Structure 1
Amino acid sequence: MGSSPHIGSRVPEFTLAGGVLDGDAFERRDYALAEARGRSLVLAFYPGDNTAVCTKQLCSYSSGLETFEALDAEVWGISPQGVDSHESFARAHGLRMPLLADPGRETARLFGVAAPGIGVRRAVFLIDADGVLRWKHVALLGATFQSADTLADQLSGIKTK
C-alpha cells in the first residue's frame, strides 16, 4: 500500500471509466479529476458493489446528494469492480452518484488505499475546488463508514476557509 496524500497537498490526477444512473438510463463515460475543478469533490473508495456495508454507505451518500450539491460538491464512488457491476449496483439501489471502476487499483494505489486481500480500504477524501486535499478518513477495518452528515460538516468547514 502506498502513502496517502497529505492534507493541504494537491491530489494525484486520474481518469477512470464509470457511469451514473439518470432516470432509467445509466450514462457511461470517463471521469477525470481535472474536470471536477471549480467544485469540491468527495471521493469515496469502497471495497465492493452489493456488499452490506458498502451498500449502506453508498445509499446514504446517494440519499444525501442534495446536501452535497448545496455545498457545491460532487460525490464519486470508486471500487475495483467494472462498470457493468456498477450499473447493476446503481440500478438495484437507486444510487444517483457516479460510480467509477478501478479494476487494476491504480487510483487506489495513488491514494494509498489499495490493500492486499480486501482489494481497497474504505476511505473518503474531501478535495477542494482547486484540487487540494482538505480532509480524509481511511478505515483500518472498513466495517463502518463516515456518515453523509459528517462529510457535509467537513465540507462546510472547507467552504468557510
Structure 2
Amino acid sequence: MLHLGDTAPDFTLKTTTGEAFRLADQRGKRAVVLYFYPKDDTPGCTAEACSFRDQYQDFQDLGAEVVGVSSDSEASHQKFTQKHRLPFPLLADTGGQVRKLYEVPRALLGILPGRVTFVIDKEGVVRYIFNSMNRATDHVAHARQVLIDLQASAT
C-alpha cells in the first residue's frame, strides 16, 4: 500500500456525469479525500457516503474535495448519487485499475473490494490512510480531523 508522504498516483476516471476527473487537476488548488468503497447501495457504503454528504460543507470549508471510487458503473453511481443526494463525484473504476494503483487490499477473505480512505494534500502528497471495512463512518471523522490538523499546522 502507499505510505504517508508518498506522492499520490495520478489517474483519470469518469464521473457520474460522464466528465473526466483527473487527480492532477486538483494539485495546487485543494486537498482531496479519496475514498475507495466496495459497492453502491449496500448498508456500509450507504452509511459512509451519507456521512460524507452530511459533512460535505465542512470538507469544502477545509479546502478539500471528497471523491468516492468503486468498481460500479457510471449508471450505478448515477442512481446511488440521485437516491442519496450526494454532492460529490463518484468515479467508476470498472476495471479496478485505480484500486490497484493505490494498492487497496481486498477484504473478507479476498471476496470484497476493500474500504480505504486517503487524504491527499493540495500538493498531491498522501497525508493519511485509513483502512477499515467495518468502521465505514469513521473514515469521514478521521479524514475531517486530518484536514483540521493540516490546516492548523499551516498557520
1:66-85 matched pairs, under 5 angstroms: 66-85=57-76
Tell me the residue number matched to 1:13.
Answer: 10
SS class of match (2:15): strand
In the TM superposition, residue 33 of structure 1 has moved relative to its aligned partner by 0.4
Stretches of structure 1 that go unaligned for 5 or more consecutive residues are 20-26
Q: How many residues matched? A: 148
Matched, 1:59 2:56: no
Aligned 8 A contact 1:11 1:131 in 2: yes
Please list every run of at least 4 consecutive aligned residues from structure 1 whose deviation after the TM superposition is greater than 4 angstroms. Answer: none
Stretches of structure 2 that go unaligned for 5 or more consecutive residues are none
Give the distance between the partners of 1:134 and 1:60, measured in 2 at CA.
Answer: 21
Alignment partner of 1:148 out of 130, 140, 149: 140
Aligned 8 A contact 2:128 2:143 in 1: no
Q: Which has the higher strand share?
A: 1
Tell me the residue number matched to 2:111.
Answer: 117
SS class of match (2:128): strand
What amino acid maps onto 2:115 in structure 1?
R
Identity %: 33
Tell me the residue number matched to 1:128.
Answer: 121
Tell me the residue number matched to 1:24.
Answer: none
Aligned 8 A contact 1:40 1:72 in 2: yes
Q: TM-score, length-normalised on structure 1?
A: 0.87
What amino acid maps onto 2:70 in structure 1?
S
1:18-57 matched pairs, under 5 angstroms: 18-19=15-16, 27-37=17-27, 38-57=29-48
Give the distance between the partners of 2:37 and 2:20, measured in 1 at CA.
Answer: 19
In the TM superposition, residue 151 of structure 1 has moved relative to its aligned partner by 1.8
Alignment root-mean-square deviation, CA: 1.2
Aligned 8 A contact 2:117 2:139 in 1: no
